[in-house]
Amino acid sequence: MRIITGLAKGRIIKAPEGMITRPTSDRVKEALFNIIRNKVYDSNVLDLFAGSGNLGLEALSRGAKHCTFIESDKNAFRVLKENIYNLCFDDKSTTYFGDSFTILKSIRNQNMKYDLIFLDPPYGKGLVERSIGAIYELKIFSDNCLIVAELDQNDAIIENIGEFKNYRVEKYGRTLIALWNRED
| Position 174 in a domain | yes
Residue 177: the pLDDT is: 95
CA of 91: how far to CAs of 60, 85, 109, 157, 169, in Å?
Answer: 11, 9, 21, 35, 33
Question: How are beta strands 44-48 and 66-71 bridged, if at all?
Answer: parallel
What is the count of structural domains for the chain? 1
**Using one digit for the tens of pLDDT, what is the confidence trace for 94-132?**
999 999 999 999 998 888 899 999 999 988 888 999 999
| Position 9 in a domain | no
Q: What is the mean pLDDT of the chain?
A: 92
| Position 3 in a domain | no
**CA 126 distance to own-chain centroid:** 16
pLDDT-based confidence at residue 184 (cuts at 50, 70, 90): low
**Using one digit for the tens of pLDDT, what is the confidence trace for 129-178?**
999 999 999 999 999 999 999 998 888 898 999 899 999 999 998 889 99
The domain that holds 46 is classified in CATH as 3.40.50.150
Q: Provide, rounded to the nearest whole percent, the portion of the chain with pLDDT above 90.
A: 77
What is residue 29's three-state secondary structure? helix
| Domain containing residue 66 | 26-119+136-182
DSSP one-letter string for 84-153: HHHTT-GGGEEEEES-HHHHHHHHHTTT--EEEEEE-PPTTSSHHHHHHHHHHHHT-EEEEEEEEEEEET
Residue 120: the pLDDT is: 93
Residue 25: the pLDDT is: 77
| Position 87 in a domain | yes
Residue 131: the pLDDT is: 95
DSSP one-letter string for 38-77: HHHTT-EEEEET-TT-HHHHHHHHTT-SEEEEEE--HHHH
| Position 5 in a domain | no
Q: Poorest-confidence range of 9-13, 22-26, 144-148?
A: 22-26
**Using one digit for the tens of pLDDT, what is the confidence trace for 37-78?**
999 999 999 999 999 999 999 999 999 999 999 999 999 999
pLDDT tops 80 at residue 18: no
Residue 84: the pLDDT is: 98
| Position 171 in a domain | yes
| Position 124 in a domain | no
| Position 15 in a domain | no
